[in-house]
Amino acid sequence: MTAATTETSALELVWEPAGPLDLQQTLGTLPRGSSDRTIMLAGNQAWLGLATDAGVATVQLTVRTHDAGQQTVTARAWGPGASAALAGVPALLGANDDWSGFDHPDFHATLPRLVTEARRRNPAVRLPATGRMVDAIIPAVLEQKVTMKEARHSFRFLVHKYGSPAPGAAAAGPVPAGLMIAPSSEQWARIPSWEWHRAGVGPQRSATVMRLTKVASSLERLAALPAQEAAAKLQTIPGIGLWTAAEVTQRTHGDADSVSFGDYHLAAFVGRALTGRPVDDAGMGALLEPWRGHRQRVVRMLGLSGFRKPAFGPRMTIQDHRWH
């Protein structure tokens, strides 16, 4: 892993992942829909606008596969937080995500064929760890108890109005126009009530965001804790329940065991995929229990398996994200 300053005033890092890496699959869980302007994915390249303790940064990631099959990731970063952003690139791309236990033949023998086949076809997926708590938790709060379409509209509206252009995005150069940095905790805290209303965010969710902004520095320290401990501490904050905490640690910690209990669709999807019939949260927990420690990996593989839950009656998109 090497880092150097280039002639374009960007910092550059070259990293060789151990094992295959699919950039799209690995980072694909991070954008809040196709309208999320804080991360742009295309082919073997990704652009991210993010905040670090040292300041904001733009990061460009490019994956190249060489003749022998070895891959290299070239990461370039601009802005005052460039060095700190580059330091987080390996974890972001799953450097700490260890699939060896999941891939062990004895463990594989316990898995349904749907999961093992999905893993065989997707050997390069990794669970990313962003390490950025506030950036993960506020969009998750916006997704509580509303449709995904509504939540993504709210996030895009608020980022566009209260965020800031990523370094280099407002000038001619390599950074894509429109790449944004999500609002900082201070910027979230200054959003007036009528703007939350215009964004379609109700008073319960906006009040939760306000509570989070008051403890933002403490929240960021949770990134250094084990995922289960961080999730437990998150749930001591009013308005943050099991679903929200799971959605956060899946992204911030690359949590291989976290399951989004409370999601309107997930239990029925997992139940039908594994047994042919829908189940509730308790039923999903019982089905996944034999694979504790890797339950999120199982859910991820089911999502990549191509299985689709049969549709009965009108399509429902509302998500019952529980507060507690």
Q: Give just the sign of the alpha carbon dihedral 61, 62, 65, 71.
A: negative
Instruction: Delimit the domains of the chain by residue range.
Output: 2-96, 97-324
User: Along the 324 residues of the chain, how does pLDDT read in single tens digits?
Assistant: 545 444 347 899 999 999 999 999 999 999 998 889 999 999 999 999 999 999 999 999 999 998 888 999 999 999 999 999 999 999 999 999 999 999 999 999 999 999 999 999 999 999 999 999 999 999 999 999 899 999 999 999 999 999 999 999 877 678 998 999 999 999 999 999 999 999 999 999 999 999 999 999 999 999 999 999 999 999 999 999 999 999 999 999 999 999 999 998 999 999 999 999 999 999 999 999 999 999 999 999 999 999 987 765 444 444 433 322
Q: What is the pLDDT of residue 321?
A: 38
Pick the CATH number of 97-324 from 3.40.50.300, 3.30.310.10, 1.10.3720.10, 1.10.340.30: 1.10.340.30
The residue behind tokens 């898995």 is: 111
CATH topology of domain 2-96: TATA-Binding Protein (3.30.310)
DSSP track, 83-136 = HHHHHTHHHHTTTT---HHHHSHHHHTTS-HHHHHHHHH-TT--------HHHH
Classify the phi-psi angles of 318: left when phi > 0, otherwise alpha if psi is within -120 to 50, otherwise beta: beta
- First-to-final CA distance of the chain: 43
Q: What is the pLDDT of residue 310?
A: 73
Q: What is the pLDDT of residue 255?
A: 98
Question: For 254, phi and psi rounded to 5 degrees?
Answer: 60, 40
- Listed in sequence order, the residues at least 6 apart from 224 whose beta carbon sits closer than 8 Å to its beta carbon are none
DSSP track, 199-255 = TT--HHHHHHHHHHHHTHHHHHHGGGS-HHHHHHHHTTSTT--HHHHHHHHHHHT--
Q: What is the pLDDT of residue 316?
A: 44
Q: What is the pLDDT of residue 1?
A: 52
